[in-house]
Each structure stands twice: as C-alpha cells, then as structure tokens.
Amino acid sequence: MQLGDLGTYVAIPRVTALRLAPDGSWLAAVVQTLGGEPPKFLSSIWRIDTTAGGDAVRLTRSAEGETSPEFLSDGSLLFASKRADPEAGKKNGEASNDKPALWLLPAAGGEARRVAAPGGGVTGLAAATGASAFVYAAAVFPGAADSEQDAARRKARSDAGVSAILHEPGARLRYWDHDLGPEAVRLLLAGSAESAAEPRDLTPDAGRALDEQEFEVAPDGTAVVTGWRVTEDTWFRNEVVVIDAGTGQRRTLLGEPGLDFERPRISPDGQLVLAIRSEHDSYDRPGDATLVVTGLGADGAGARDLLAGFDRRPAEAAWAPDASSVYFTADENGRRPIFLVGLAGGTATAVTSDDAAYDNLCVAPDGSCLYALRSGINAPPTPVRIPLGPKACQAQSLSSPGGEIDLPGTVTEVATTVADGTRIRGWLVLPEGASADAPAPLLLWVHGGPVASWNSWSWRWNPWLMAARGYAVLLPDPALSTGYGQHMIARGWDHWGGNPYTDVMAITDAVLERPDIDGERTAMMGGSYGGYMANWIAGHTDRFRAIVSHAGLWALDQMFGTTDGPPFWRRHFGDPRSQPERYLASSPHLHADKIVTPMLIIHGDKDYRVPVGEALRLWWDLVFQSVDARFLYFPDENHWVLKPGDVQVWYETVLAFLAEHVLGEEWQRPGLV
C-alpha cells in the first residue's frame, strides 16, 4: 500500500488498542477505519489470534462504531457503542444515540446485546479476572441518587434550553477539547451482565474526583482501585484509592502532597497495587517519575520505589502472572522498549532491543510471552507476540487489519554534539532517489510535548507523506525530550527558546553537511510545542524558506492564562506579574518585529490546550508587519485536527505552501478551502 495518495492514506486501517482474552487464545483489537457520509473515523473490534499466521476477523460492525473492549472472566466481551438497540425502545434515563451504551458479546459468539444505557453514556470499563463482577464509569448529574433522578435533571435542562455550567474554586473547566461539567463521572458496580442495568453507585460523592482517571477491579471482585483527584491549593493532585465493593467505603492507598499517583494496576493475586508516581513540576526543576508498589491492604504508607536509580520515565506497566515482577515501557534514546523489573529489587533490564516503540502490554496467562502493539518511525502499530526468556527477544508479527505499507524512502539515525557536550540525536527520513547527484530539500519537523520524543509512528504527524513528495524530513529530539534522562529535560527547563533552539539548529547544521541534502531549500514546521518552536525560530533566523506553525504558542502570558490548565503552567513559569523573567525570555511574540520568513498558521477553534487566541494574535501581528502569511482555520477541530476530510485539507495546504516557497512552484490553493 502506497502512502503518496492522501485519500488512500486516511483509509488505512489503524490498530489503536489491545485486550487479551482470559485464556490467552486471542486479542480483542480496536481498529479505526474510514466510513460514513461524510467520511469519519469509526472504531470496531476485531479478533486477532495469538498464534503466528492466525486470522484477524472483524467482530463488530455498526455505523456508530465500538470501543473499550473488556473481557469478563467467562470469556465474554464487554464494549461501549452508540449503536441503537434493535430489541428495546427508548426507556426513561437511557442514553440517547449520541452517548455510548454498554454491550456484551457472548463468549460462544452470536449477536451482541445491550446490557446498560446510562443517560450520560459509558466512559470506561474494568472487570474482575476471577469473578463475574465489573465496573463501568458513567457521567451523572450532581445530586442524582439513581438513573431516574439523573434522567429528570437531564430532561429539565433540555426542556429549559439550558447548557450553562457553574464552576466553583478548584474545578478544572476544560480538558483538551471538551468542557468539564455539569455532569461528573461515577463508578457503577454490576455483579453480572444481567444486573448491569441496575448497578450500585460506588462513588455518589465523587464530584470531579474521577475526571480522566483509570480504575481496576480486584480479581475476586471485592474491591475497586481507582485514581482520585483531590484539590491542592489552586489546582489538584491525583491519589489512588481503594473502594470496598460491598460497603462502598473508600480509603486512600497512595497519596502525598506534591505527587501524582496514576494508572493503578492490581497484581494477579490481588495483594499488591502498582502505580506511576510523578513529582509535580516546579519553577526550579522538572518533576521525575517512577513506578511504586504497595499492598492492597496498606493504609496509605510504605509505597516502595521499583525504579530507584533508573533515569527514565515509565509510560505504562503490566504485572507478570506470578506477581514477582513487572513489565513496563519507557522512552529510551529514540525508542520505547519494554523493560522488566523484579519486586525484590535490582536493575531494570530490557526485554526488547529493536528500533521500536511498544505499548498496550498484555502478558500471557502462563507468562511465556507478551503481546503488544509495536511501532516505529518507519512502521505503523502492529500486534506482536514477544517470547520471554533470559535474553532480549525478537517480536513476532501477528495478523493485522492494517496490512503492509510501502514506504517512499528510508530512515536513518543522525546525531551531533553541542557546545555543552550533550549528544543530540534524531531520525532522518530520506525520500527515494536522494543522492549527491539529486539532493533532497530538507524539512525540519519539531515534536510537541515538549516533554516527548520522536520514537514511534504517528498517523497525525507523518513524515512519510512529505517524503513521498521528495522532502527529507529531520525529526530531532532536542532539550526537553524524553528518553535521555532528567538532565536532558532540565537543560531546557528555564528557557524554552534556549537550549532547545540551539540543539535544533545544531542538528540541522549537521544534516545539511550531507551530500544528499540540499542546504539551499529548507523549511521548518511543528505542532503544539513544535508550533512554539516554529514561532520562536521565525523570530530568530531567516535561514528557512518557509515555516508552518500548527497550534503554536505565541504570547506565553496570554496562553498560560487561557489554556485548560493555567496552574500547571504557573508551577513551571511562575506568576507573570511577580516572576516575569521566564515569560520575557521565552515568549515568541516579543520577537515579532524580526519575522520575515513566510508562515502558514494552522489552528482549531476547539483547541483548549493551546487556545485559538494564540493563532489569532500571531496572524494579526504578521499582517500588521506585511509578512507573507496564510491562516488555515478549523472552526470545529481540536488540538490535532482529526476528521478525515480536514486531515486531507491540512496536508494539501501544507504541501502546497511548502511547494510554493521551497520548490519554487506556483501556489495551488486546495480545492475545498
């Protein structure tokens, strides 16, 4: 399958999540495909055999899609979907078709049936591995004691035409692209699929504590462990609490001021709880992260650090079946390997050693292998089987709905050493035919985050679509990137436009020395923090022929007061009134008068992380200075721009802008904008 055609590209099936059946014989995979009129991305659930050469078979099919597969102990499969129930009329309090209900696919096969339809929709699932109990999360109006009261409140607001939300101190107002409230998440316990429509509310007093939290059910169904948000000063921190399934009593398992505890995982024997512990960032230093473990019966004290001395940040973790060790992933030198650490202590060791990034870890019940999604800069996420043994093992590909993709070039690793002795590395994607006789124009693409890394495939920020048009694409990991230890993040902490900028320029200079790169035809682009760097570069050098800034930060004092989490950023940059130094040192808008490079600005109006005011202000600053600029605006898109049609327009516009300024071609306005 070729990547050159944008329509073909957006139609490639994408595997996004995995769950392993209790007997280990198959994986339930969430697969995103193109469908509907107008086209949209829909998720369905596929069955992927865990044996090499096994089949990948689609299990669900509806115009609304299916997500969040979760196995019950008997092998039946729960999932969430907005599909209509053909066997039941609309009941009072049930979800409308725009909210996902809970469905069950029997272990023996057959038609799925709806088992619960809360009015606010299902937002999460977790099941016991050794009992029939499971828990689902649903949005409920405050004060509602049951589904009837929730439905009455819902109807009253609708009848009155009210959409207002009243926020109180300590509340988060927005998250990425949606408003928080007036509904709030609660955890609802069902003893079986038959009782799911009349669940027990375990968290009637949760308020906003369960926003964006993960939870698990103990193997015997007697307890639920969940993330729990508590107010701290003007912001919050995340604890881990355990809730007794019989009494509903709740106690804090992991919690401490200045720390977040997230992504709890209960051991297979039900005795221990694992979580990621993250220090809060401060003005002086970035917070570190590690894995901690404690007993399920602990009283909130005595959590043990499993990764003392391991200078990498864990991303996700999974228990070994005998609960003697833990598998986890962490960014590492432009990759994301799987590591193993024992509960008895010792050094974490790598399980994988290839140029890949792993996630969605699923451990086989007998401990003989791991299943995961494997991707790389040059490979989309694919389900794999990883045999476990004393040495690093080779991943074996399983059947995948995505199929094979023919890449229009190659990727190689590049690096340079900067003034302070730090090695700066990245990936260089080279188009087919690039050589000293036919050097390729260079596109520098800076990643977002900023605490992140170019180490895996991205459907949204894909360098191969640029390579298909003849561009070499440089994907650097400058200061603030993960996978190189806390020192690398700290190097850029006090000045976003300092070491990160000079690192990017240094590795660009190194790549431009290659004979297969055309140093006279260069451009730069980035999104989010990469958009910040695009704006910063525009005000500090005229070396590029064109710059593309997607969702870029422009005026830091403005952005940090209108984003979805101002207190988070204030920890890092300080109060702009009493500590203006970092804002003055790092804000791109203060260098607007030096911009001469043609710029393409891109932003979605539903972007609450980097609000659209950043793009609007940048646009008018450029207009008033007569800079050659264009503004691609998406009224109903978020931080990333995700609708298939808009994704195509995004790439068409970027490619047309680059072709005009880098390749010297005549501007070709995309037909649909």
63-101: pLDDT as tens digits: 999 999 999 999 999 999 999 988 765 554 555 568 999
Contact yes or no for 108/90 (Cβ under 8 A): no
- Which residue, 140, 116, 126, is CA-closest to 199? 116
| Closest to 456 (Cα-Cα) out of 315, 606, 567 | 315
Closest C-alpha among 175, 121, 190, 118 to residue 147: 118
Q: Helix (H, G, I), strand (E, B), or coil: what is residue 590? A: helix
Mean pLDDT by 10 residues, the chain (673 residues): 84 96 96 92 96 86 95 97 80 65 93 95 96 96 91 94 90 92 94 91 95 97 97 90 96 96 97 97 97 85 89 97 97 98 90 96 96 97 91 84 89 98 98 97 98 97 97 98 98 97 98 98 98 98 98 97 94 94 97 98 98 98 97 98 97 98 97 94
Instruction: Annotate 66-78 with DSSP letters as a single string.
Output: EEEEEE-TTS-EE
Tokens representing 258 are: 């200045």
On whether the CB atoms of residues 412 and 450 are closer than 8 A, the answer is no
| Residue 415 pLDDT | 98
Three-state SS sequence of 484-552? CCHHHHHCCCCCCCCHHHHHHHHHHHHHHCCCCEEEEEEEEEEECHHHHHHHHHHCCCCCCCEEEEECC
- Residue 611: which residues within 8 A CB-CB, separation 6 or more? 559, 562, 563
Pairwise CA distance, residues 631 & 614, whole Å: 12
| CA atoms within a 13 Å half-sphere pointing along the CA-CB vector of 87 | 6
Q: Residues near 129 by Cβ (< 8 Å), separated by ≥ 6?
A: 22, 73, 219, 268
What amino acid occupies position 193? A
Q: How far apart are CA 51 and CA 33, in angstroms?
A: 24
Q: Quote the CA–CA distance of 132 and 541 in Å, as a whole number.
A: 63
CB 262 within 8 A of CB 278: yes
Distance CA 228, CA 252 (A): 9
**What domains does the chain contain, in order, with CATH numbers?**
409-661 (3.40.50.1820)
Q: Which DSSP string do the residues of 175-187 spell out, in sequence order?
A: ETTEE--SSEEEE
671 Cβ partners below 8 Å, 6+ apart? none
pLDDT, tens digit (0-9, with 9 covering 90-100), for 418-460: 999 999 999 999 999 999 999 999 999 999 999 999 999 999 9
Residue-level pLDDT at 375 = 97
DSSP structural state of residue 467? H
* Among the listed residues 60, 67, 71, 69, the one whose alpha carbon sits nearest the alpha carbon of residue 81: 67
Listed residue (139, 148, 134) closest to 69, CA to CA: 134
Asked whether 349 and 340 are in contact (CB, 8 A), the reply is yes
Q: Give the residue among 132, 9, 160 at the shortest CA–CA distance from 72.
A: 132
Whole-number pLDDT of residue 92: 47
Q: Which of 213, 320, 214, 345 is nearest to 267 (CA)?
A: 320
In the numeric block, which tokens belong to residue 330?
């962490």
Q: What is the pLDDT of residue 585?
A: 97
Evaluate whether 544 touches 522 at the Cβ level (below 8 Å).
yes
Q: Indicate the SS3 state at residue 67.
A: strand
Using alpha carbons, list the distances in angstroms from residue 579 to 573, 584, 654: 8, 10, 38
Closest CA to 72 of 10, 133, 15, 16: 133
Other CB atoms within a 10 A radius of the CB of residue 386 amount to: 23
How far apart CA 260 and CA 212 sit, in angstroms, is: 13
Check if the beta carbon of residue 273 is closer than 8 Å to that of residue 225.
Answer: yes
Q: In the structure encoding, which two tokens stand for residue 669, read together? A: 């306005």
Radius of gyration of the chain (CA): 25
Amino acid at 469: R
Q: Which residues of 108-139 are buried (b: 16+ CB within 10 A; e: fewer)?
A: eeeebebbbbbbbbbbbbbbbbebbbbbbbbb
Tell me the C-alpha distance between 643 and 649, whole Å: 10
- Distance from C-alpha of 496 to C-alpha of 533, rounded to nearest angstrom: 8
| Of 449, 448, 473, residue with least CA distance to 658 | 473
Q: Which residue shows structure tokens 């505890």? A: 261
In contact, 125 and 81? CB cutoff 8 Å: no
Paired strand residues for 290: 277
First to last CA, the chain: 28
- Cβ atoms < 10 Å from Cβ of 394: 11
Q: Which two tokens stand for residue 41?
A: 């991305």
pLDDT at 96: 54
Two structure tokens written together for 663: 């390749």
Sign of dihedral through CA atoms 574, 289, 338, 317? Answer: negative
